Structure 1
Amino acid sequence: MKKISIATSILLALSTQALADPGQQGDKWIAGFAEYYSTDQEASGFPNYLSDGTGLGAEFGFRFLPQWAGRIEYSSLDIDASSLGQDKSGSRLGFDAMYFLPNDSMYIFGGVKEIKIADSDTMYNLGLGKHWTVAEKLKVITEVAAYNNFENGNNDIGVKVGLAYTFGNSAPAMPKDSDNDGVNDTLDMCPNTAPGTQVDAKGCDIDEDKDGVLNSLDLCPNTPVGTKVDSNGCALGADEDGDGVADADDKCANTPMSDKVDAVGCSVFMEEEVSQNLRINFGNNSSIISNPNNPDFQTFADFMNRYPNTDTVIEGHSSAPGNDDYNMMLSQKRADAVRKLLVTKYGIDAARIKAVGYGETQLLDTANTKQANALNRRITAKVTASNRVKVEK
């Protein structure tokens, strides 16, 4: 084990001085390598004739996650057989999982190998390595590994150096500019600028409030259209709440600075639609709710309680197999069961909930399969409300 300790120390020392050049998810590589392979003479048993040797090999690797990769490796070994006065040829084939430390300072790998020298043995290996970038697509590979045979306790050591060619990783995506104003979405403070509009570095109209003062100089950037302004873009006359409307014309004093205002200085509101869905599946030929404590029921009830002026329709559906009239009846029973649960357990006013069965008239999947039938045996409900919210600057 002294050999592997020395090799590991060298690799760790070099890794701390290496420039960070991490690989990326999707990288692939092919590599050729040479190695020094040392067998465990003390544990090999009689006849004890295998010594150290060398090998040449190749590997293919794929980085499927930012920190994780896998590879297949093959090596042709030439091992000294000192007691016989000759060399023994052999091979090693197997798979490794590889974990790359931050910035690819080094990687830890482990796997299973089938090694054939004198006999065929299954070995488990663990090691350390590093990919050293020498060109855009080329990397030098350095590794040290320990191999263990669980059956006889043999411990072998391998040290290898190789050259890898990397490929397959796509180029980074170009920054997106959804409104085509020349400013990337990540920097665009006005993401829906009209086509052809001249914009500033933030992607906004150079005079967004059309008061004749450029945004870069406008101290009152949301002055209502038509308001007379000074050289700072602020309404002529006193404007105590700073909303761009002079106090003499401001019918809503002390408007929050974050609010967008209209021509008379009042906050602008818009109607925002909000909705909540309920979807419950049933067993075959059943209208029994198997999970009445499903959190989806409570979420649906909370939404209806928050918006008391809303109503909803519970829609029951069945799968295709069976008699049409029976399926219609069964779907109605399912809808009625959910309506009753929402009324009795979750406290929703019965007048706000209507239950309708549709039988097999609205199939989601027309295939005659177990999965399709399970999908079609369902309850759906939707409730929508309008929510009045302020428009911010």
Structure 2
Amino acid sequence: MKKLNAVLLALVSVGMTSAAMAQQTQKQPGEFYVGARFGALNLDSDRVGYKNGELYNVDTGFDTLDTGVEIGFMLTQYWETRIYYDYVEASIEGSPGDLYGQSFGSDFLYHFNDLVYAGLGINGTEVGDLSDAMVRATVGHRQFINDQLSWRVEGGVQQGWELDHTESFVNFGLQLWFGEPATVAPKTRPQVEPQQAQPEPQPEPQQPVDSDGDGVVDSNDKCVNTPKNYSVDETGCVMYENEVIREELLVEFDLNSSKVRESAMGAIEEMANFMKEHPQLSITIHGHTDSTGEADYNQWLSERRAKSVGDVLIKRFGIAANRVDYKGHGESQPKVVENSATDRQENRRIEAELKVVNRVPVKR
């Protein structure tokens, strides 16, 4: 048992040291995972169980191992639910051999940010044919190795209401993710109905006639039936000019955070719709920070912010990844001179701009 506990602690240590190579991935509603669990229980000192018809006390102090599986589902961007089943192996106090059992239950988890979550659940824990129904509180930390694989470590307490056991636990898990995030249908912009051509009036005999009323008589008019509200040249053809259409994106961030605020999703969606209307365009997202902190850290943080917005365009609003690029500028390009907390907030941002040039008719 002690050797197995040492292996478990080594696994947790390896997972924690891999944090430097992990990336943060913001999971969306509709994605789910299956995972493996490895943990240890500190059973209540009053916990007993049967073996071969005899009653034994169990060891305390995290000498009980539990291994199992879990299935989880993202209800929203912040709420997650899961069910789990563990096989339990407990040492007998003062005697060789083990007591066996199981632990199963479900949790609701709330994610405070990309790394930390907490939750409540119900649980049934059985050791040596004696079980207790329990309420469990959990605090955990999750890191993503890539978009499909994550690891987590967590701990907490559970309280029984049948046998009044109070117990604590730690465990480590690996999770494999599946499914597509829920998407929001893009807004459609109103379509402008083409103006119907006016019927050509019959000219009066021996009088100059301007059939379409554009100011150019029919004998000199090379473009008939031009709309009356458009300007024309000396040949009666519509005059055109270049019109620049711009779409700008500005998203601000919390201090030391690269997590996209939910309040910014509307502005990002409008940029996504503009890109869908103009599939020839690609976007470069520029990330910035305020002057707080070291320059190297701010450069890294600005790149993370730009990538976070790019991931929302790709994963939530369906923009092709080869049309989205990002670049971090750290603290080198402030929007305003920082003299207050409000100024620093304005500098914690990403910016992007797209424009197209259309030829449009000149109106009178």
TM-score, scaled relative to structure 1? 0.40
| Larger Rg computed on CA atoms | 1
Q: Which has the higher contact order (CA 8 A, sep 6+)?
A: 2
TM-score, scaled relative to structure 2? 0.43
Q: Which structure shows the higher strand fraction? A: 2
